[in-house]
Amino acid sequence: MGHTVGKDVYRTLGDKIDGLTMRAPWNNAFRDILRALYTEEEAELVAGMPAGMASLEEIGRATGYDPERLRGLLDRTCAKGLTMDLWANGEYRYMPSPLVVGIFEFTMMRTGGSLDTKKWAGLFHEYMQDAFYRANCGNGETVAPIRALPHEEVVAGGEYTEILDYERASAIVEEAETFAIGLCSCRHEKSHLGEKRCEVPLDTCSTFGKPADFMVRRGLGRQVTREEMRDNLQRSRDLGLAFCGDNVQRNVAFL
């Protein structure tokens, strides 16, 4: 692979991530994040990958890597949450992780080993409090990647005709087939910044379906049963937490 030779591979990677689902404008703080998380080889791979889901063969054609080396690199980046592998059409297909929901969450959900989590928390905080939020929410945007869901039992009966299933956390759980629970990336970040002001446990972030398979397979969450997921919802309600899910009606991936 030679198309990034002579170029700043991290700037090329930054441009790639900026073109995914959420804006990620370039600045020195963003460069620091990329250099902390990606080796140069990993950065070159992800910069050269197709933006959407692609097979190993398609990525090999795009990047020039031979299959054995490519598979090893993809395994490594998937384990770090920098790429995702999802089962589709009888094979694993891969895609680069966007900054949100993706690189930030997966990085701050990692556990074990000699992880530099405190450093990562500081880098994300510096970047996202300024450039990221300004780029994505600085002009009165009304469309968001996440949405709030009501606690069904606290909505007075006379105030609505029906709560649609995609607005009910319980319905999301009942419709899913596989479940995973991992660390809350936001509270985990705040704990390393010394800004977590509550006693709420970290293990609340819920994932469903194929994304749950990915989280479990890559060590970013633990597999749980439907009953355990129901218990997680009840515990979250008891703790007074607000439910937020991805902003779609079908195949909700996380809560």
SS (H, E, C) 202-221: CEEEEEEHHHHHHHHHCCCC
pLDDT at site 71: 97
**Amino acid at residue number 180:** A
- The amino acid sitting at 229 is M
pLDDT computed for residue 235 by the predictor: 94
For the chain, give percent helix, strand, coil, nearest 5. 50, 15, 35
Q: Which pLDDT belongs to residue 49?
A: 98
pLDDT at 153: 65
What are 36-78's pLDDT values in tens digits? 999 999 999 999 999 999 999 999 999 999 999 999 999 999 9
Give the pLDDT confidence score for residue 48 in this predicted structure: 98
* DSSP, res 83: E
Contact 243, 151 (CB under 8 A): yes
For the chain, residues with pLDDT lower than 50 are: 2, 5-6, 160-166
Cα(85)–Cα(92) distance, integer angstroms: 6
Q: In what order do the strands lie in the sheet with 179-183?
A: 203-208, 179-183, 222-224
Question: Please, what is the Cα angle at 192 between 137 and 18, to 5 degrees?
Answer: 35
Tell me the whole-structure pTM to 2 decimals: 0.87
| DSSP 3-state of 81 | coil
| CB within 8 Å of 163: residues ≥ 6 apart | 150, 152, 155
**Cα separation, 93 vs 88, whole angstroms:** 6
Distance of alpha carbon 206 from alpha carbon 177, whole angstroms = 13
Q: What does the pLDDT read at residue 113?
A: 82
3 state SS of 180: strand
Per-residue pLDDT, 6: 46
Is residue 242 within 8 Å of 233, Cβ to Cβ?
A: no
Q: Which residue has the tokens 């405190």?
A: 118
CA distance 225 to 174: 11
Where do the domains of the chain lie, and which CATH numbers do they carry?
9-117 (1.10.10.10), 146-246 (no CATH)
pLDDT at 163: 42
CA 222 vs CA 108, 208, 217: distances in Å = 15, 12, 9
